[in-house]
Amino acid sequence: MKILIVEDEPLAAAQLTANIAVLKPGAQILAVCDTVRSAVNWLQNNPAPDLSFSISSWATD
C-alpha cells in the first residue's frame, strides 16, 4: 500500500508514520507534505497513492 501523508505538525506526522509502520508493516510512505499546496504539487507530479491521510484538529467549545 502506497500512502501520502498531509500534515503540518511534524510530531503528528512522525506519530502517524510510526503507527502505520506498526499496523501495516508493508506500507510505503511515499511522502509527507506539510501544506496543501505541497500536497497538490506532489499529486500533480506523481502517480496517485493508494491512500492519503490528512489530520485536522478543531477546537470546540
Which position has the grid cell 478543531?
58
How far is 53 from 61, CA to CA, in rounded Å? 26
**Can you give the pLDDT at residue 57?**
58
pLDDT tens-digit map of 7-61: 999 999 999 999 999 999 999 999 999 998 999 999 999 999 998 877 765 545 4
What amino acid occupies position 52? S
Global pTM value: 0.83
DSSP state, residue 6: E
**Can you give the pLDDT at residue 53?**
79
How far is 29 from 49, CA to CA, in rounded Å? 9
**Can you give the pLDDT at residue 61?**
46
